[in-house]
Each structure stands twice: as C-alpha cells, then as structure tokens.
Chain A
Amino acid sequence: MELSSLATVADVRAALRDGATAVDVCTEFLGRIAARDGDLRAFNHTAAEPALARAAALDRRGPDAPDLPLLGVPIAVKDNICTRGLPTTASSRILAGYVPPYDATVVERLTAAGAVVVGKTNCDEFAMGSTTEHSVTGPTRNPWDPACVPGGSSGGSAAAVAARLAPVALGSDTGGSIRQPAAFCGIVGLKPTYGRVSRYGLLAFASSLDQIGPFGLTVADAAALLQAIAGPDPRDATSAASAVPAFDAAAAEPVRRPTIGVPWAILENGVDAGVASAFEAAVEALRGMGATVVDVPLPHAEYAVPAYYIVAPAEASSNLARYDGVRYAYRAPLDEKDATLGGMYDRTRHDGFGDEVKRRIMLGTYALSAGYYDAYYLKAQQVRTLIRGDYDAAFEKVDAVAVPTTPTTAFRLGERADDPLQLYVGDVFTASANLTGLPAVSVPCGRDDAGLPVGLQLTGRAFDEVTLIGIGAAYEEQAPWWREPPAAGAGIPGGEAPASRDGAAP
C-alpha cells in the first residue's frame, strides 16, 4: 500500500505488515500535517520529534515482539488531555506554556497499545463551545469548506481525522463535543457511557458530564481506540468497574436487524431540510438492512438544553476556580506595590479566560449562588432524572434511539459568534446523552445541498457500546460515506486552493 493513501487504522496495520516501518508511517502523517495544517489549523502543537523518537523505539522492538493493537498508529489528542512533556493548554491563555508532569490515563493506555501521539488539537477554550472559534490560537477550519466551522469543542481532532492528518483522534464530550464535530466533519465520533473511560488527566469542565472518547473514519477505528482506553482506573473514582467487552470484535459483527426508536415528535421543528432528508434516508437504509423502526416518545428531551446549560456551567464555575495565577502557567502582570492576592486572582482570570468561559463561569456562579440553587441547579438535576426515565422507557422496546446528531450542518465561521443562546440550542440532540450518562455515536449519513456532511446519532443503553458499534458498523456497510474524502479546499489532494489563513471569518 502506498503510504500516501493511508487513511484508517486498518491501512496502517496493513502497511506495517507489508514492510513499512512505524517511522515511515509517522513521517507520512507528519508530512501531511506540515503541508496542510497551516490552512486547516487543526493542531495547537505538533510533536514531530517525540513522535518520531517513539516510532523509532517501536521499530526497534524487532519482529518477534508481541503485536500491539495500535502499533505505530499516529493519533491526535485534544489539547485538554494531559500529555507529559507536551504543552496542554485547552486553547486557553490561562494555560499558555503549561506542560503537564504526567500523562492522562487514556494517553498512558494508548501508548501501551502502541499508538504514537503526533500532536495536540485545537478546541474551544476548556471545551466550552461548539465551533472551535473560542480558542486563543484562532479557529480551526472545516475540511469540507474552509469558510465553515468544524464544530466543537473537539473541532481540531475531528478536522484532523477528516482531512486524513491522523487516522484517529481523542476528544472529550460534555454536551456533544465529540459527536457534533464528527457530524460536521463527516467522520465517526463516539461518546462512551459515563464512567467507561477514565477522566484522570482530562482538564475538568463539568465532572458529572465529561467523558473522553474516540474519533475515526470508520466505526471499527473508533471501536479500536475505545478498546485501548476503556476500563476502570484507580485514579478516577468515577470510572466504572464494569468489565470491558470486545469493542473491536463488535465492529466486525454488524447488527443488521436491530429495533431502532425514532422520536419523530421532537424532529418536527428546528431541523434544517438538508439534515432532515439525509436523516430520513438513513432511517430508510436502516429499514432496508433489516431494522425495525418504531416511534418513541421522549417527552422531556426538549428540556435537555436548558438543563444542560445549568448543570455544565455550575460544575465549570467550581472546576475552573483552580486557575488562579498561583499554580499553573499564567499570572497577570501586577504592580508589585499595590498588588493584593484577591486582585491578582481577579486580574489573572480576567486576562486569562476568553468570553465564552467567562460567560459560563458567571452563569454557573449565579446558578449556585444563595437563593438560586433550588430554582436552577436542583431543578436541572431533577430534569436529568426525567430525561433518563424517558430513555429507560424507550429501551424497554428498542436497542437504540436514532436522531440527527445536529439540527444543522456546519455553518460559516463568525456567523453565530454574538449569539451564545443560538449556539446552545444547537446542542438539542446531543446534550441528553451527557445528562443521562448514556453512550452515543455519530456516524456520517449523507450530505446536504451544499455538500456538507450530516451525522446520524445512535444512543444506547448504559455500558452497551457494543450494540451501538454493531448497528453503526451495519449502517456503514450500507452507506460507506467515509470513503469519500472532503474535496473542497483546505489543501486536501484533489481539492481547491486553500482559503486565506488570516484567521478572520471570510
């Protein structure tokens, strides 16, 4: 196999079997990043030297060393996941120059599985956003149309995989931050069940919602990555003791005759025509492969967004209190003579955080402040219980619930920058999985009239990613949208000339 045509984990494994070295593979992907990422801006930092050193060490293991599931597979890691010795900034000024003294558990496990970290990807600051525009390094562009956002918050990871700059990537998902950019970039993104994957080393945003998960071009690649990172971790008390099933095997056993629930009532309003028609075609394809499709009511689903935007900022306002100018990276310059401790906190946080993070800290602080707790935080937690009840009732008769991942396809850079509420409402189909803890996957399911990708989201029972992977693999077999790479712009072979790189919205 030509190195220049490598795309998936399976391709990398095949190339290594055919005699390519891990250094060859790593060099190929680093070359793509060097050539194209100046325009795409998927990466905050690339790690060429440590990646090549790591690949060379893998090559030195010799032919008799035990096989590793991700041997020599380059991986991009979202910049809110700690990597020892590599900058980890969460795309925030307040962490500019922060170099973690330890690896996140997921990074340790990927390394043990043979993967090679090639860089840290751009995201919305502290994973707060759905466009990757709220980043101190500037926005990432969508490989399908460089005038559009890649989604977010894990937009850099999604764009990197879609543009074939890395076969797989890690993201984090608090309200849709893996699945929404996967949908906008036409790739697979999976949010595992809360507790399936250790959060140790993930910069905390909302601790009862955050979960790390994989991006891949195919369901099998996402499953292979999940296999490597899943399982209990003594360093994360919320990681679940549940046994880890064979996700990689599940991808090879398509589930062609599942019962799928579709909550048609909540799809009646607010879904763009292009998304609706791609979704309806996907439902037909599911029927065509043997699935039974039934209507399921999710009467509280419409309250997911307001509940989410209370719970997530409340938890964030507490988690982000640690960024105070004392322990990590940035401290605002102060006039020594007049400086006070409180003034140092206030100024450091003012200078170090961007607008969206400030908005959410303010919102969360308000929701938790005296006199408002019951009306907001407690109420939102009760709504979580009702939403989970809706899903539990649905799962008595269906194996998975299907909706479009997002109500729209990717929109233009800058288009929604001044209207936070409009962006929040875009999380309508993704936030429920975080509020309930349930696993959900977004699989590419078509294009709108502008040629932008649409995602099909499947939500499953707690700790039943296996069924989602099986159904996703069966659907992908019918509709292999991933095989068509983005053609427009962003320097992808066959595409048009890349757009300007001034970082401003066109």
Chain B
Amino acid sequence: MTGVPLNIDLQQIMLHLFNFTILFGALYILLYKPVKNFMEGREQYYADMDSKAEDALRSAEDSRKVYDDKLKAFDEEVRSEKAKLRKDLDAERDRRVAEAKADAEKILSDARTEAGRQKDEIISSAQKEITGMVTDAMEKLTLEQSASDAFDQFLDAAETEDKQQ
C-alpha cells in the first residue's frame, strides 16, 4: 500500500495509456480507416451512380421538352399549313366551280346557239324540202297532165294508123 486511495498508481495509468494509445493507432490504421474508406467509397460510388442517373433523367427530360417543343412547333406548322392548304383548296375549288359555271354557261349558250342554228337550219331545210316537194308535186301534176295528153295523142295516132292500114 502506498497510501494513495484505491491504490491509484500514476505509472500504471501511464502504462494503460501507452497500451491504449498503441491499440488506438493500430485499430485506426488497420480497421477503422480502411473499413470507413471502403464504406465512403461505396457511398460515393452509389451517389455518383445516382447523380449520373439523375443527370441522365434530367437530360432525357430536357430532350423530351425539346422534342415536345419541336412537336408543338411542328403541330403548329402542320396546323397553319393545313389552314393554308384549306384556304388554297377553297380558293381553287371556288375558282374551279366558277370556271365550271362559266364553262357550263358557255356550253349552254353554245348549245343554245347551236340549237338555234340547227333549228334555223332545220326550218330552212324543211322549208326548202316543202318548197321542193310542192314544186315536185306541181311538176308531177303538170307532168301527169301532159303525159296523159301525150298518151291520148299516141293512142289516137296509133288508132289513126290502124285505120289507115
């Protein structure tokens, strides 16, 4: 017994301290640091992977946005083109309808003119035919009368001859 309460010994405290310091250093170098480094490395690896995935997702979102915008612009363009085409189409249709109307009117008027002409022609030819027929009939009538007279004359002549013989 040294007289110190509880047998506290400074030398032994220092020896304990020395022992623990060596243990601390060894555990730190051999176990704590490598394991912690590995854990941090893994955490970093997964964090990198996560951030890469997030970047990829973000870039995909951006691309989607760009394509959405492009698609929207394209849709707009298509819509305006469609409207323009419709307008052109309407104009063309109107034009063609107008043309067709004009053609139809022209055809109608030509037909009317032709019909009028043909009518006139028919009327004139009919008139001519009627005139001819009338002339022929007259001629026929006239001829018929002269022929019978001639025949009568012939018959008279013949009878006369017979009588003479």
Query: Are both chains from one complex?
Result: no
Point out residues on B near A: beta carbons under 8 Å: none
Point out residues on A near B: beta carbons under 8 Å: none
